[in-house]
Copies of this chain bind each other. A is one copy, B any other.
């Protein structure tokens, strides 16, 4: 469950600009501010079921966007490469070739 929350937080971060204002409100209350479905329902004066359906639909949309655009996946790959580059530079007993290899991999991600 925690893993799903983390994933949803990331997907929301990458794709929130493609959601409607209402979808954004529900998702941000539920995933970022940890409101319960009941609390969101009360605040918006709608049924708990309506909030639940909206959030489920939005989650599916976010997964669909990720399937198509892979922004989260590429972000993770890029982060790994960047960490390795930092280590190489800080350790300083790297060859420039290693670093150039990493930079080339980074380039391929775009």
Interface residues of A (CB under 8 A from B): 15, 17-18, 65, 68-69, 71, 75, 78-79, 82, 85-86, 89-90, 92, 96, 99-100, 103, 106-107, 110
- Contact (Cβ within 8 A) A85 B110: no
Which of A85, A90, A100 is most buried by chain B, counting CB atoms within 10 A of its CB?
A: A85
Which of B17, B96, B103 is close to A82, meaning CB atoms less than 8 Å apart? B103
Which of B15, B78, B86, B103 is close to A89, meaning CB atoms less than 8 Å apart? B103
The residues of B that contact A96 with a CB separation of less than 8 Å are: 89-90, 92
Which of B17, B18, B110 is close to A78, meaning CB atoms less than 8 Å apart? B110
A98 to chain B, nearest CB (A): 10
Which B-chain residue is minimally distant from A16 (CB atoms)?
A: B68
- Contact (Cβ within 8 A) A106 B89: no
Closest 8 CB pairs of A and B: A17-B68, A89-B96, A75-B110, A89-B99, A82-B107, A85-B103, A89-B100, A86-B103
- What's the Cα separation between A72 and B32 when bound, in Å? 28
- Contact (Cβ within 8 A) A100 B86: yes
